[in-house]
Structures are given as C-alpha cells and as structure tokens.
Amino acid sequence: MIDRPRYTIGVDFGTESGRAVLVDVADGREVGIEVEPYRNGVIDTRLPAPDGDVVLGPDWALQDPDDYLEVFRGAVRRLVAGSGVDPAQVIGIGIDFTACTMLPTTSDGTPLCFLDAYRRDPHAWVKLWKHHAAQPEADTINRVARELDQPWLPRYGGKISSEWFFPKALQIMRESPDIYRAADRLIEAADWVVWQLTGRETRNNCTAGYKALWSAADGFPESRFFEALEPGFGAVVDDKLSRAIVPIGDRAGGLTERAAGWTGLLPGTAVAVANVDAHVSVPAATVTAPGTLVAIMGTSICHVVLAETAPAIDGMCGVVENGVIPGSFGYEAGQAAVGDLFAWFVDKAVPPSYHDLARSHSVSVHEVLADEAAALRPGESGLLALDWWNGNRSVLVDADLSGMLVGMTLSTSAPEIYRALIESTAFGTRVIIDAFEAGGVAVDQVVACGGLPERNPLLMQVYADVTGRSWRVAASSQTPALGSAMFAAVAAGPPIGGHATIEHAARAMAHLRAETYEPTPSHRPVYDALYAEYVRLHDLFGRGADPALKTLKRLRFEALDASNAAETAAR
Amino acid sequence: MIDRPRYTIGVDFGTESGRAVLVDVADGREVGIEVEPYRNGVIDTRLPAPDGDVVLGPDWALQDPDDYLEVFRGAVRRLVAGSGVDPAQVIGIGIDFTACTMLPTTSDGTPLCFLDAYRRDPHAWVKLWKHHAAQPEADTINRVARELDQPWLPRYGGKISSEWFFPKALQIMRESPDIYRAADRLIEAADWVVWQLTGRETRNNCTAGYKALWSAADGFPESRFFEALEPGFGAVVDDKLSRAIVPIGDRAGGLTERAAGWTGLLPGTAVAVANVDAHVSVPAATVTAPGTLVAIMGTSICHVVLAETAPAIDGMCGVVENGVIPGSFGYEAGQAAVGDLFAWFVDKAVPPSYHDLARSHSVSVHEVLADEAAALRPGESGLLALDWWNGNRSVLVDADLSGMLVGMTLSTSAPEIYRALIESTAFGTRVIIDAFEAGGVAVDQVVACGGLPERNPLLMQVYADVTGRSWRVAASSQTPALGSAMFAAVAAGPPIGGHATIEHAARAMAHLRAETYEPTPSHRPVYDALYAEYVRLHDLFGRGADPALKTLKRLRFEALDASNAAETAAR
C-alpha cells in the first residue's frame, strides 16, 4: 500500500461554482478536475423559489449553502469515481473559499436559511463576499475605530471594507434582530463547509486575520469596541464566534460517515483547516518564503508577500502572522480593477472594426488589441492612465477615486489606449512593490497566477518592464485548488504519505512555467520616466492636493440624488 | 427693370469643393445652390497626372487653381442657367475662401503650375490652408519675431501658425529658389480668383490682416525682419506682394468678358473684394456690431467678435481693424478640435452596439449617443475632459497639448463620455468668452453657424448652459456663401439695387432661426462647479505647472524617432 501513489483533493469554492482537483501528492500532477456550478448562483435580486416574492435591496449578494454541499455530492463524487483511483489512496481533502463569505447557523451548524421559520428573511442566507449592502456598518466601524484609536487599524491600511466580517454581522443585528438572536453562530462559509465535513466547528486563522480583525498576538478587538458600535453587539465574539482559532496547515479532523457518503471517500480521511482562495494560491505558486511577491491576477489583483517581521506598510489590505504560511507574516495588498478594467474597455470603448477582426480570426478582442499594442514602443502612444476605474485599494485605500486617461490626440487608437491601460495597472503594481520595499519588506521577484497571466504575454512583459523585476508564472491553471490539495497533504501528514510542512508540499507539488519575463533593458528608462509621471499624478489626484476626483464624485451623487428625487416626486 | 427682384451670387471655396448660391438681395432668400467638387481635390501624396511620379512629402497639401475656375465654368454657370433668372437681374458676385491658401503666379496672374517649365515642382502649385510642411519656417518666424520684439506679435496671441502666408512663402524660397525667383506674385487664392474675374490684382484686408501680419495702421512687418529670416527674403512684400490692400465691402471691379463667358453673367457685373469663409459668415449670421460672438462650428470652432477698440486679449488668433466689418476691430479666436473630437470618438471609441442601433434606426451614431446623453443630468456622469485632442488654439496657443478624460468608473458608458466631450468643448468656449470679457470685449450673446449647430440640439443647449448666455443659430445653412452674396450686394451698391453697407445687407438678407437656446437655471450651479474644475485642470496642465502633457509628447517623439531609426537601420 505504501508504494501506491497518494492523492489529495483540493476544492476551490468560487463565486459561481466549486471546482475540485485530484492531485498526486508526489509531484502535484493534476489527475482530474470536476466543476459544479451553484444551482442558485449569486442571489442578488430575489430569494430562490418558493420565496421568489422576497426582493433584495441594491448591493445585496447572497448564496445558498446547500450549493456548497452539492459540490461534494456532485463534483467531488464524480472526480473520485471517474479517476479510477482507490479512495484509500486519497489521503486528504482541503478547501478554499471566497472571503468574507459568511452565514448564521444554529449551534449544530444548520444554516438558518434551511429552517422554515427563517428562510424568508434574506439575512438568514449566506452573505457573499461581494454583498456591499453593509457599507453603513463599515462606515460606523471605521469611524468608531478611529475615535477609539483601535490598535488593529494600522494593520489594515487604516480602513476596513464593507465586504468584511463585522460589517456583515452588524448589518444582521441592525436590520434583523430576530435572525441575529436566532444565530448561535456567525461563521465564514469556508469554516462552515469544514464543519460539515468533519462534524466539528473549526475556525481558520486566515479569514479571522484578514477579514475579522483577529491576530495571534491580540485576538479580536475588545468588547468595548463592539459595544460602541451598537448596544448589545459587545458580546458578538463570545456569543456568535469563537476565540479558538486554528492555524492553516493543521488537520481540522476526519471525514464523517455522512461526508464520506457524499464524496465516495473513506470516513476519517484527513480534512485540512479552511483557507482563502488568494492566500492558498501562494504556496501553489511555489512561494513559501520572503522575497517573492505573488500576484493573483484576474478581474482584480491580490498581492501577497511574506516577511519575517511585520513593519507598518502604507495602505495594504492586511498583515497576518501565520496567515499565509505558518512561521511568517503574510502581507496582502490589492488593485481593485485589472481584468475588469480591460473588460470595461473592450465592452465600452472599442469600435466595431476590432470586434469584426476578432470574429473573423476566431480570437478574442483582447488578442486583436494586444497584437497591435505589442508593436508599439513604450511611450509611443503618448498616453498615460490612472487605473482607478474601481477606486484604489492599495496604497491609497480610497474607493471614491476614479480613472483618468491623459494624452489623447485625434490619431489615438484603441490598441494604444489598451496598452496604456495595461501599463497603468503595472504602474499601480510598482507603487505597491515600492511601498513594500520602502517599509522594509523585500520584493526581489514576482510569481503571477490566475486567469490573466496565461492569456496575455504582452501584459506580463509590460509588468516585468515596468517593475524592473523577473516575472514567472505558476504552472497550474488551478492554483487555489492545487493549494488546497497541498494543505490537505500537510493535514494528512507524512505517516500516511502526506507532507510534513507546506514548504515540503510546495517543493514537491508546486511548479512554475518554463518562461521567464525579464525586464527589457531598453524599455526601462522610458518606463521610469512614465512611472515618474504616474506617481506625480497619483499623488496629486489621490492624496488630496487636487480635489477634481472628489468633486466629480460629489457632483455625480448630487445629480443622482436629484434624479431619484424627481422620480419619486413623479410617482 | 428696377421693379424686378435683384440677385447676387456668393461663392464659397471650401477644402473639397466650391459652392455657389444665388440669393435674393431683398430678403436673403436662397434661390438656388450648385456645388462643384474639385477634380484634383486635396493633392497630398503625388502631383496630378501626367506628373504622378512626383511624390509629396509628409504634411504637404496642394490644390490645382484650375479647379477654382471650374467652379465658375460649372457650378455658377449651372446656377444662373437653372434659376430662370435674367442675368441682368444678377447685380454682383462675391467669393470667400479657405485661408491662408496661396500660390505663385507670373505678373499676369498665370499660376506657375500652369506652365510646363514649372509644373513638376510642387512649389509651383497652390499651398492649401492645411499644408503643414512649413513648420520649420513658422518656427523661424516666431523665434526671430520674439528676438526682434516685433510689435505685431501680440496681435496674434504671441505666435503664428505654419498655415499662414509668410511661412509658406519662406518655404518656397528655401526649398525652391527657382520657383521663388520665377514668381512675380505670391498671392492668396481668394485674391487670385478675384483677379481672374476682374482682370485686376486686388488684395483684401481680411487675409492680409489675419494671415499675413498686415494692419491698417502699420502695414506689413519691416523689411529688416524678413531679411533676418533668410538673406534675400527682405524684399518679399515689395517684390511679390503689394502694399495696396483693399478693404472688404469694396467693389474689386467688374466681370471681364472672359469671366462673363464662364458664368453666363453679364460683363461688368460687380465683383466684391474677396473674403475668408469664417469671417464672411459673421454678417450672414446677422452680426455687424460688438456684443455678439459668432461661433462658426464645424470640425473646429472659429470665434469672431467685434469691438470698438482693440485691447490686448490673451491667446486670440488675431485682431484686425475693418477685418470683418468695416468700422470695427474683428477679433478671431479658435478651438482646434470640436466636430473632429466627436468624430474621433465615434470612429475610435464607440462600441458596436451603438453603431448597430444607429444602423437599425437609420440615424447617425452621433444621434444615438446624443439621445442617451441628453437624458443625463449635468454632473451625473462624474466625467470631465480637457478638449485638447488637437492641441489648444485659444487661449493657450499650444499645439503640443493633448486631451484628458477624468472620472471613469467600470460603469462609464459611451453616451456619458460623449456628453463629457461636448461639455469640455463648451468649457473651452467659456474660457475664450471669459478672456474676451476680462480684456474688455463684451460678449453678451452668441450666434452659432456651421454644420454642428443644426445637427445637434444637445450641443447647443450644453453650450448655453455652460456659458450662461443665449445662443441663437443662423438661419442659413450656407452662411459663408450667403455672406459673400451679401458683400456682392454691397459691392453692387444701391444705385443698381444693392445695399449701401454690409449692415444694410445684414438687416435685409441675414436671419436667425426661431429657436433660442437659453441657459437652464437649474444647470448653472453644476456647470459652474464643473467649469471651476475645468479651469483649474486647464491652468495646471496647460500653463506649465504640471509637465505631464509635455513629457508625454516628448517621450512619444523619442519613441517615434527610435522607431524610425530602427527602420532605417533595417533597410
């Protein structure tokens, strides 16, 4: 038995589907993959049948926890059955999730939305990461935190997002006291899923640290702070959460009989502590030590870098001890619109000829644009953009900023703008790298993963040129699921064929693509000059010296308010 | 005979064609119109057959003077013949032209390009207004004018354009001394055409004043200045031009037998002194007195306003005494890209859905965009643009500036950008109006003419809202030709049924459309706030405080140079 290959399963819970990968523990080979789209997807207009008459407010985004279980009953079962692998050879399973995605449950873990008494209340359902309706609660938290000079605030760039755990929890309490009262537990969906697999509530330190203001050194914020947010909220941690936070890399438990039945795996199979999709990608991109930034590049970019110590860095999203790799501090930073920005451009600002060309060559519009854009020299377009179409996450932490494009002439073309937008996101990345290095966190090289790098070599080369660093690309197209499978191998441990540490797992199971994007020496001076312009405009418009963007935003909201008032009056 | 209606003909020589209108002198009714496309159009790549092997340099733009004569032999002849009007009822003919459009001729007015000895030299042909190959000569003129502290320089905003008369003349001398030597005359095409009609060289004060540095008070610049530009060029005025400059509104002469034969008109029919298309539009837009700005709106905007005195105004294109209406000073200012900017947007940055919608409704893409844009409230898009896609003419006089768009989000749509571009050109107009008023030249209201106003009511309303002034629109779609017909009526004079002055002609023959665009009171505060942002960014990026646009331009030229060098090396 010890000579047969060992496998683990990693399950990546995304926004629209769950994706399960069966991986060879020895070398990371991905033996099989199965995807399970969520039946109820993102619930953002009305509750699912039979409660479709319950309409959701703007900015709401819910999910159905049964859709998560279906990933095990469907995708994982098919994966095991279809692989021809003996379930005894599958030594562990690990999961990662979007975050913060959270739900209220009873003390035995039953989601309140499963109960007839509560299911017509939208607050009984899972609040998905992109549920943005808790902005008033986030505003309260940020204001009170500043007033009470909370020591954790600097760890999060001075401001937390409406997407995080406590804004969502506070929204439940304020808007649905019944649900808040009925909720024995408020829990990350990641941890709820592990609870369903193991029969035991286990809370991971990654979501706790990055989304719920927890740290190994200080625990959660004090009760006095929560009570100051809303009378009665002071006991939220002791009443609804848990102060027992388990580090990633640990074994959460073994598969219950019931969960084994869903999946076709053996009861007792090791289950890893849950993780977050971006953070779990880091070891899957081969990175387990300081000095290498991991850029998870998709609609947005999440940047993770490890450090031995935790100096204060301007405008990162968070720093968590043991939050990414046990034994180091994991810093997270972010750019709010990258793939989304290019998608906006293609949808909203590219004329028909490029769409026609793409159709006639059966390629994407992105490829057509990138092809022409690649023929341009740096600086040739005369264009420069500030990439703030969705605000600025790092290092300015300001959602109210907006985009800017400078330098257009009557001969400016779509490929020129496309390249300028790519360059602007690269400049944004360089600002983040510069902030890390200025704060004492080394960034010697970069590994990229996610959807963008493999589709867009021009983008990778521009990023290398602009940042002056080597960029490599993770070999796997499924880095989150691979990372979860790696943590599963660690949870299983060496005695049954797993790995002793995540570093061991990374050495064996994680790989890079052969190609390296090296900075082009002749491009560096031009990009340095353009970057100097970018930084000056970045500081001018982003740090308050010029009020244009704020004024435009204010006038926009006033116009929309006037518009709404006129509509209301007309009714 | 005196009871029969009297008519005049106005001929507008445009860039691609000549357009002749037959107008009733009593009320300005346009009885007929005929258009003659130029057979050789704009000559910008190679000379016409049989000399098609002669290739032109970049930025060259020539025309064939025979194409101008064909307008009389074709369009005017058809107009007269087709109107059923007795030629004896046609009491005058007037013309206007693009400017500076100039050519070298012999002493009898024969264009050098008509002569076999010279016709293969591109410098023998007409240099069209948009011939931009004399930029080095314009640079020399501007430099030397500053060095010699020339008193005329402030009248032209401190800088002249490569399009003007002396850069073109100097280019001929530098690049083709033979042609320069053979040219007994260097003359505006406008004046050359009048010469062909009357048999007599007559030079108008409008082109002399706006394009050739002449003024009634000071004449041309001193010989010493011209000699400083290039040895031997000092005598250019006395050798090739004439110091006899005739005011617009005068009678240049009567039709020769030959010209009468071309047109079907009677020999001796009054011919008016030539005029410029923009300036001749002013009385045709009913304006003959100070206080009303005329905005000639097409691919660009030319602004003309009259004044009793001539205070120095920042950044106008020129101020000429009697240059537009005898008895007042005519100020000209300009915006370099207006219709061109909207056309760029539609061609280069509007996605397929709007093109499809336009096609399915058989309307223009502009109309589809304007329709959606009109539903937006001021400020609602959150966008603001600097309209410098073709540099800035007034008030910054800086061709090296480029455009800027600020405030984009992931939901920014094409109609929102379209409206922001319209608003930006309106802000540009307001800057010019503010400069006039700050200098003591009143602008109480505006009359628009040209192609844009009648096609785009949204644009007119935005201009009224932004400038806080009433905007009216000239009734005629052919204001230049109508204006020429009006000056023809003045040249004919009252004894034979014409008008005594251009003011009389305007009262009788020029009209406004019924509709008035009044500023919307509720829009004013928002546009004042947006204008304040515009002005701050305008001064920040346009007056040198922030170097971004200049740096981008420099990097662009360096990249293009490197690109050209690489291509040359590869050959």
Contact status of B132 with chain A (Cβ, < 8 Å): no
The mean pLDDT value for B320-335 works out to: 96
Contact A389 B404 (CB under 8 A): no
Burial B534-547 (b: 16+ CB within 10 A, else e): beebbebbbeeebe
How many angstroms separate the CA atoms of B251 and B197, rounded? 12
Given a cut of 90, whether residue B157 has pLDDT beyond it is no
Q: What 3-state DSSP class applies to A253?
A: strand
Contact A552 B412 (CB under 8 A): no
The proportion of chain B whose per-residue pLDDT surpasses 70, expressed as a percent, equals 99
The proportion of chain A whose per-residue pLDDT surpasses 70, expressed as a percent, equals 99
Contact A417 B349 (CB under 8 A): yes
pLDDT tens per residue, range A415-457: 999 999 999 999 999 999 999 999 999 999 999 999 899 889 9
Contact status of B350 with chain A (Cβ, < 8 Å): yes
Nearest to B406 among A530, A552, A555 (CB): A552
What confidence score (pLDDT) does residue A454 get?
A: 87
How many angstroms separate the CA atoms of A1 and A509, rounded? 21
Peptide linkage before A100 cis (omega within 30 of 0): yes
Q: What is the mean pLDDT of chain A?
A: 96
The amino acid present at B527, given as its one-letter code, is Y
Q: Which residue of A has its CA nearest to B533?
A: A548
What confidence score (pLDDT) does residue B368 get?
A: 98
Contact status of A406 with chain B (Cβ, < 8 Å): yes
Contact A352 B347 (CB under 8 A): no
Given a cut of 60, whether residue B178 has pLDDT beyond it is yes
Contact B407 A402 (CB under 8 A): yes
pLDDT tens per residue, range A52-103: 999 998 889 999 999 999 999 999 999 999 999 999 999 999 999 999 999 9
Q: How long a stretch of residues is chain B?
A: 571
Q: Give A385 to chain B, closest Cα distance, Å.
A: 9
Helices (H), B204-338: 205-211, 223-229, 236-240, 257-263, 277-284
Using a CB-CB distance cutoff of 8 angstroms, which residues of chain A are in contact with residue B376?
A: 559
Q: Give A530 to chain B, closest Cα distance, Å.
A: 8
Residue A313: both structure tokens together: 């860095």
Q: Which residue of A has its CA nearest to B566?
A: A377
Peptide linkage before A50 cis (omega within 30 of 0): yes
Q: Which residue of B has its CA nearest to A401?
A: B407
Contact A382 B553 (CB under 8 A): yes
Placement of tokens 């990546």 in the chain: A12
What confidence score (pLDDT) does residue A571 get?
A: 65
Peptide linkage before A395 cis (omega within 30 of 0): yes
The proportion of chain B whose per-residue pLDDT surpasses 90, expressed as a percent, equals 93
Q: How long a stretch of residues is chain A?
A: 571
Q: What is the mean pLDDT of chain B?
A: 96
B284, B476 contact by CB (below 8 A): yes
Contact B355 A352 (CB under 8 A): yes
pLDDT band of A1, cuts 50, 70, 90:
very low
Using a CB-CB distance cutoff of 8 angstroms, which residues of chain B are in contact with residue A381?
A: 556
Q: Give A374 to chain B, closest Cα distance, Å.
A: 13
Q: A with B: how many residue pairs have Cβ under 8 Å apart? A: 177
Q: What 3-state DSSP class applies to A53?
A: coil
Contact A382 B344 (CB under 8 A): no
Using a CB-CB distance cutoff of 8 angstroms, which residues of chain B are in contact with residue A406?
A: 402-404, 548-549, 552
pLDDT tens per residue, range A317-348: 999 999 999 999 999 999 999 999 999 999 99
Q: Which residue of A has its CA nearest to B415?
A: A348
Contact B549 A406 (CB under 8 A): yes
pLDDT band of B102, cuts 50, 70, 90:
very high
The mean pLDDT value for B440-459 works out to: 94
Q: Give A130 to chain B, closest Cα distance, Å.
A: 15
Cα–Cα distances (Å) from A46 to A52, B101, B165, in that order, read 5, 68, 71
What confidence score (pLDDT) does residue B259 get?
A: 98
Contact status of B384 with chain A (Cβ, < 8 Å): yes
What confidence score (pLDDT) does residue B2 get?
A: 54
How many angstroms separate the CA atoms of A473 and A486, rounded? 18
Given a cut of 60, whether residue A166 has pLDDT beyond it is yes
A157, A142 contact by CB (below 8 A): no
Nearest to A413 among B348, B404, B555 (CB): B348
Contact B548 A536 (CB under 8 A): yes
Q: What 3-state DSSP class applies to B509?
A: helix
All residues at 6 or more sequence positions from A448 whose CB lies less than 8 Å from its CB, including other chains: A285, A294, A295, A296, A297, A460, A463, A471, A472, A473, A474
pLDDT tens per residue, range A520-571: 999 999 999 999 999 999 999 999 899 999 999 999 999 988 877 877 777 6
Assembly ipTM: 0.92
Contact status of B562 with chain A (Cβ, < 8 Å): yes
Using a CB-CB distance cutoff of 8 angstroms, which residues of chain B are in contact with residue A376?
A: 559
Residue window 408-437, chain A: list those with CB within 8 Å of chain B: 408-410, 412-414, 417
pLDDT tens per residue, range A370-381: 999 999 999 999
Residue window 498-557, chain B: list those with CB within 8 Å of chain A: 526, 529-530, 533, 536-537, 540, 546, 548-549, 551-553, 555-556
pLDDT band of A397, cuts 50, 70, 90:
confident
Contact status of A335 with chain B (Cβ, < 8 Å): no
Contact A562 B377 (CB under 8 A): yes
The mean pLDDT value for B46-67 works out to: 95
B377, B415 contact by CB (below 8 A): no
Q: What 3-state DSSP class applies to A399?
A: coil
Contact status of B373 with chain A (Cβ, < 8 Å): no
Placement of tokens 């209108």 in the chain: B21
Hey, which residues does B421 pair with through a beta bridge?
A: none
Q: Which helix (H) or strand (E) holds B147?
A: helix B135-147
Q: Give B356 to chain A, closest Cα distance, Å.
A: 9
A21, A485 contact by CB (below 8 A): yes
Hey, which residues does B293 pair with through a beta bridge?
A: B446
Given a cut of 50, whether residue B472 has pLDDT beyond it is yes
Q: Which residue of A has its CA nearest to B537?
A: A548
β strands within B142-188, DSSP E: 185-188
All residues at 6 or more sequence positions from B496 whose CB lies less than 8 Å from its CB, including other chains: B6, B91, B270
Which sign does the torsion angle of CA B542, B545, B549, B554 carry? positive
Hey, which residues does B186 pair with through a beta bridge?
A: B104
pLDDT tens per residue, range B497-534: 999 999 999 999 999 999 999 999 999 999 999 999 99
